[in-house]
């Protein structure tokens, strides 16, 4: 079967099917004289389930993912909604349904109402409704077992949980035991199953459709968290092959983990900085765990997305400070709001003729001075807790840099006026992601404190390929000599001006091109925390100066660089 792999790794084990109470409840009508008692039974079950959820939210283990607490609270609030009780009770009183039947009927109705809502956030709540209803059904049935007791037999294979969906509360219960993997019929990469499985580092495949109906307890399964493939009762030969892959992957991970505290130095002694890209404050923890030298890109726009109002100055200050504190003195590069194109505010209905070339990023901020000033004040305030650097996206003109400096000066004056402390010599840098800036980079390199090359956009604008359009995805080519010349030109100009320059686009985390980037003279890479150790491994095996000679000669001739020829 094919699903979506959401946590990497290979799981090999035996099926343990998680009960889906909603699929198994008995439907029967009750005698008219018993309807009141049945309503009472329902009321008690709702309140027991709600109390259980609150208790769980209040006693979360320290290592539980942060999302769990709020999710459990939302679930208990759903159960306390008087409408849920009244309307379900109505079905018992008028149609004489038993409580389980009434509850599944009402739950289905509610889930359907949510499922057709326009707002994506509300649409996603239909999964929550289904999950809380399941929980009450379990209370009504008096059974608390989530998983069957599987005969140990002569097999010591670990168990793979197979479920229709796994609620946050169920996940919490499953955390205690060791499972080899999680497979669900429903869900996507941001589902609860995915979030919790990731925090437990257990391979997971979601969106499998109907695996729960197709397997039985004790069946042997292989789940490939890389490709999303699931093999049911595979032949001994296939099993042997996957056990081999599993062992290779485990030893690769173990070897990489040893690199966490090893320095990122090339064979010829060049020190390389490896930093992390993050989108939410809590991801700073993963950056520290991976041994990052700092945050090279904090995409602050994610604090603004998926909500109806703008985050306040205090809210932003809290978010930035928490990252700065977590990074304990290491540099934290916070990019000012990069909205527009593929990232928009909820409820923003303006449709630009061509959003990628429209009022996005710094253009948007300069056109909305209040929003910009609020963010700058929050950034400056956070700077007292460590080392903050401000990064401006989508710069193409020098006057945008000057306007940004003026905005920062104004924010400083605001803070001075109210006696709020901040770091006076905060570094200001810009993303190099528009070809015009890369071509005419010199004055920028002389004016700014640092540069960061955003190859994701630089490639899109250089090659005229929409980065989100699958029709032209095959032409989106990071190795195009024109793109590499722009990167090389930017790195050389920064070197001459004596300022640091990083690459923070996706190619910085692709270990297949690490040597090529070293050959371009790059000394700072910023990437997803999970990619850091793979890149470090490449760095430590590379000879930077030899690579520079090879890459320069290919670029002079505008030839494609042969990655194979750079390795070894
Ligand atoms: C980039 O453009 O390379 C970049 C890092 O920024 P984003 O992907 O957020 O546009
Ligand atoms: Mg960009």
The number of beta carbons lying within 10 Å of the beta carbon of residue 561 is: 20
Ligand 1 center–CA 261 separation, angstroms: 28
Please compute, for residue 256, the number of CA atoms within 13 A of its CA located in the half-sphere on the CB side.
20
Token pair 């056109």 is found at 367
- Residue 229 pairs in a beta bridge with 2
Give the end-to-end CA distance of the chain in Å, rounded to a whole number: 39
- Ligand 2 centroid distance, CA of 338 (Å): 8
Lowest mean pLDDT of 243-252, 433-442, 465-474, 501-510, name the range: 465-474
What does the block give as tokens for 83? 């409408």
Q: Which ligand is nearest to the CA of 454?
A: 1
- The closest ligand to the CA of 297 turns out to be 1
346 by DSSP, 3-state: which?
A: coil
Length of the chain: 568
Give the whole-number percent of the chain exceeding pLDDT 70.
93
pLDDT band at 288 (very low <50, low <70, confident <90, very high): very high
Residue having the nearest C-alpha atom to atom 3 of ligand 1: 454
By alpha-carbon position, which residue is closest to atom 1 of ligand 1? Answer: 454
pLDDT in tens, 89-99: 999 999 999 99
Q: Which residues contact 503 (CB under 8 A, 6 or more apart)?
A: 452, 453, 455, 487, 517, 522, 524, 525, 526
* pLDDT of amino acid 504: 96
Nearest CA to ligand 1 atom 7: 456
161 contacts 186 by C-beta, under 8 angstroms: no
Which pLDDT tens digit goes with each residue over 451-475? 999 999 999 999 999 887 778 888 9
- Given a cut of 60, is residue 531 above it in pLDDT? yes
Residue among 433, 438, 463, 483 whose CB has most ligand 1 atoms within 8 A, to mutate: 433
Q: With 80 as the cut, is the pLDDT of residue 244 above it?
A: yes
What tokens were used for 123?
């649409």
Q: Whose atoms come closest to the Cα of 458: which ligand?
A: 1
Which two three-digit tokens encode residue 433? 């992601």
Shortest-distance Cα residue to atom 6 of ligand 1? 454
What pLDDT score was predicted for residue 350? 63
> Given this model, what pLDDT does residue 328 score?
95
Q: Is the pLDDT of residue 24 over 60?
A: yes
Q: What would the two tokens of residue 247 be?
A: 């062992």
Higher pLDDT, 102 or 114: 102
Which ligand lies nearest the alpha carbon of 455? 1
At 154, the pLDDT band (50, 70, 90 cuts) reads very low
Q: Specify the DSSP element, H or E, that contains 382.
A: helix 369-382
Tell me, what's the pLDDT at 351? 63
Residue 162's pLDDT is what? Answer: 94
- Ligand 1 centroid to residue 456 C-alpha, Å: 5
Q: How many angstroms is it from 370 CA to the middle of ligand 1?
A: 24
CA-342 nearest atom, ligand 1: 10
pLDDT of residue 44: 93
Calculate the alpha carbon distances from 547 to 264, 542, 567 in Å. Answer: 16, 8, 9
Residue 150, pLDDT score: 54
- Whole-number pLDDT of residue 413: 98
More confident residue, 57 or 293: 293
Q: How far is the C-alpha of 244 from the C-alpha of 350, rounded, in Å?
A: 53
Residue with tokens 């100055």: 313
Looking at residue 410, its pLDDT comes to 98
Q: What percent of the chain has pLDDT over 90?
A: 62
Residue with the nearest Cα to atom 9 of ligand 1? 299
On the question of pLDDT at 124 being above 70, the answer is: yes
Cα Rg of the chain, angstroms: 27
Secondary structure E strands in 326-449: 331-335, 387-392, 427-432
The CA 521 to ligand 1 mean position distance, Å, reads 21
**Per-residue pLDDT for 183 more than 80?**
yes
pLDDT value for 46:
93
**Confidence (pLDDT) at 222:** 97
Q: Is the pLDDT of residue 40 over 80?
A: yes
Q: What is the pLDDT of residue 422?
A: 97
- Condensed to tens digits (0 to 9), the pLDDT of residues 343-378 reads 667 666 666 778 889 999 999 999 999 999 999 999
Between the alpha carbon of residue 165 and those of residues 61, 115, 189, 199, 276, the distances in Å are 22, 16, 13, 17, 32
Whether residue 394 has pLDDT greater than 60: yes
In this structure, are residues 243 and 12 in contact, taking their beta carbons and an 8 Å threshold?
yes
Looking from the CA of residue 299, the nearest atom of ligand 1 is: 9
Which of 275, 299, 462, 525 has most ligand 1 atoms within 8 Å of CB, for mutation? Answer: 299
- Beta bridge partners of residue 223, listed in sequence order: 11, 230
CB atoms near residue 540 (< 10 Å): 15
Q: What pLDDT does 153 receive?
A: 45
According to DSSP, the β-strands at 181-184 and 450-453 are: unpaired
Mean pLDDT calculated for residue range 308-320: 94
Which of 298, 393, 513 has the most ligand 1 atoms within 8 A of CB, as the residue to mutate?
393
541: which 2 tokens?
């095996």
Pairing of strands 204-206, 4-7: antiparallel
Task: Please tell me what DSSP assigns to residue 194.
Answer: H
Q: Pick the residue whose CA is nearest to atom 8 on ligand 1.
A: 456
Q: Among the atoms of ligand 1, which is closest to the Cα of residue 455? A: 3
- For residue 67, the CA-to-ligand 2 centroid distance in Å is 27
Summarize the confidence of residues 209-222 as an average pLDDT: 92
> Residue 530: which region, alpha, beta or left (left: phi > 0; alpha: psi -120 to 50)?
alpha
Question: Which residues make beta-bridge pairs with 16?
Answer: 161
Q: What confidence category does residue 283 fall into, taking pLDDT thresholds of 50, 70 and 90?
A: confident
* Whole-angstrom distance, CA of residue 134 vs CA of residue 353: 47
pLDDT of 112: 83
Give bridge partners of residue 265 from the DSSP assignment: 271
Ligand 1, pocket residues at CB < 6 Å: 297, 299, 338, 433, 454-457, 504-505
Encoded tokens for 344 = 């928009």
- Higher-confidence residue of 68 and 283: namely 283
Q: What single string gives the DSSP state of each residue in 496-543?
A: HHT--EEE-SGGGG-GGGHHHHHHTT--EEEE-GGGHHHHHHHHHT--
Burial 41-65 (b: 16+ CB within 10 A, else e): bbeebbeebbebbbebbeeeeeebb
Q: Per the structure block, which two tokens stand in for 231? A: 């093999």
**Which atom of ligand 1 is nearest the CA belonging to 454?**
3
Which whole number is the average pLDDT over 265-294?
A: 94
Mean pLDDT score, 387-402: 98
Q: Which of 24-28, 44-48, 419-423 has the lowest mean pLDDT?
A: 24-28
Distance CA(8)–CA(26), nearest Å, equals 39
Cα(335) to centroid(ligand 1), Å: 10
| Pairs from 129-133 (Cβ < 8 Å, separation ≥ 24) | 129/78, 130/22, 130/165, 131/75, 131/165, 131/167, 131/168, 131/169, 131/170, 132/49, 132/53, 132/75, 132/78, 132/79, 132/167, 133/22, 133/103, 133/104, 133/106, 133/107
Q: Could you give the CA distance from residue 554 to residue 97 in angstroms, rounded to a whole number?
A: 77
Residue 127 confidence (pLDDT): 81
**Whole-number average pLDDT of the chain:** 90
Average pLDDT (504-523) is 95
What is the pLDDT at residue 155? Answer: 55
User: Which pLDDT band, with edges at 50, 70 and 90, does 152 fall under?
Assistant: very low
More confident residue, 309 or 241: 241
478 and 513 Cβ atoms separated by less than 8 Å: yes
How far apart, in whole angstroms, are the C-alpha atoms of residue 338 and residue 285? 23
Which of 65-69, 275-279, 399-403 comes out lowest in average pLDDT? 65-69
State the catalytic residues. 192, 504
Element (H, E) at 203: none
Q: List the single range of 5-9, 70-74, 414-418 with lowest mean pLDDT.
A: 70-74
Alpha-carbon distance of 11 to 204, in angstroms, equals: 8
Q: What is the pLDDT, as a whole number, of residue 190?
A: 63
Give Cβ neighbours of residue 468 (< 8 Å, ≥ 6 apart): 342
DSSP class of 358: S
DSSP 8-state class, residue 471: G
How many whole angstroms separate alpha carbon 15 and alpha carbon 32? 43
**Residue 184 · residue 165 · CB < 8 Å:** yes
Which residues on neighbouring strands pair with residue 12, listed in sequence order?
A: 222
């Amino acid at each position: 079967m094919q699903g979506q792999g959401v946590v990497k790794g290979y799981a090999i084990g035996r099926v343990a099917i998680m009960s889906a109470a909603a699929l198994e409840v008995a439907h029967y009508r009750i005698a008219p004289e018993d309807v009141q008692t049945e309503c009472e039974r329902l009321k008690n079950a709702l309140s027991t389930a709600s109390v259980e959820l609150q208790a769980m939210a209040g006693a979360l283990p320290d290592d539980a993912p942060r999302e769990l607490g709020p999710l459990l609270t939302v679930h208990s609030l759903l159960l306390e909604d008087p409408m849920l009780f009244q309307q379900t009770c109505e079905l018992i009183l008028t149609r004489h349904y038993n409580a389980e039947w009434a509850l599944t009927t009402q739950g289905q109705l509610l889930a359907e109402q949510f499922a057709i809502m326009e707002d994506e956030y509300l649409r996603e709540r239909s999964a929550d409704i289904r999950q809380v209803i399941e929980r009450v059904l379990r209370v009504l049935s008096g059974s608390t077992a989530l998983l069957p007791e599987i005969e140990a037999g002569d097999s010591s294979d670990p168990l793979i949980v197979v479920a229709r969906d796994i609620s946050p509360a169920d996940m919490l219960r499953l955390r205690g035991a060791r499972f080899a993997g999680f497979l669900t019929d429903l869900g996507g990469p941001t589902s609860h199953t995915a979030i919790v499985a990731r925090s437990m580092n257990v391979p997971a495949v979601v969106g499998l459709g109907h695996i729960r109906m197709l397997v039985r307890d004790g069946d042997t399964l292989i789940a490939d968290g890389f490709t999303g493939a699931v093999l049911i009762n595979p032949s001994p030969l296939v099993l042997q092959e996957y056990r081999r892959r599993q062992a290779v992957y485990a030893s690769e991970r173990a070897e990489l983990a040893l690199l966490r505290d090893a320095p990122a130095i090339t064979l010829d002694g060049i020190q390389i900085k490896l930093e992390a890209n993050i989108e939410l404050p809590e991801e700073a923890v993963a950056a520290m765990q991976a041994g990052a030298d700092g945050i090279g890109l904090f995409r602050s726009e994610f604090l603004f997305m998926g909500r109806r109002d703008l985050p306040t100055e205090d809210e932003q200050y809290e978010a930035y400070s928490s990252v700065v504190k977590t990074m304990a003195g290491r540099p934290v590069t916070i990019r000012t709001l990069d909205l527009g194109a593929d990232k928009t505010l909820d409820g923003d209905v303006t449709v630009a003729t061509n959003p990628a070339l429209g009022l996005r990023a710094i253009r948007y901020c300069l056109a909305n001075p209040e929003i910009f000033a609020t963010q700058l004040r929050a950034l400056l305030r956070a700077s007292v807790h460590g080392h903050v650097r401000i990064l401006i996206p989508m710069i193409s003109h020098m006057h945008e840099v000057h306007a940004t400096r003026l905005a920062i000066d104004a924010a400083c004056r605001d803070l001075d006026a109210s006696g709020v402390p901040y770091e006076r010599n905060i570094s200001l840098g810009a993303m190099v992601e528009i070809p015009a800036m890369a071509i005419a980079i010199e004055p920028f390199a002389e004016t700014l404190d640092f540069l960061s090359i955003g190859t994701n956009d630089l490639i899109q604008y250089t090659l005229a390929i929409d980065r989100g359009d699958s029709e032209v995805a095959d032409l989106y080519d990071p190795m195009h000599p024109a793109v590499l010349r722009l990167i090389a030109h930017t790195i050389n100009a920064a070197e001459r001006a004596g300022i640091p320059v990083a690459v923070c686009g996706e190619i910085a985390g692709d270990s297949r091109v690490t040597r090529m980037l070293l050959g371009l003279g790059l000394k700072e890479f910023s990437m997803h925390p999970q990619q850091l150790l793979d890149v470090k491994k490449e760095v430590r095996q590379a000879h930077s100066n030899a690579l520079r000679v090879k890459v320069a000669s290919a670029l002079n001739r505008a030839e494609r660089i042969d990655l194979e020829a750079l390795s070894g």
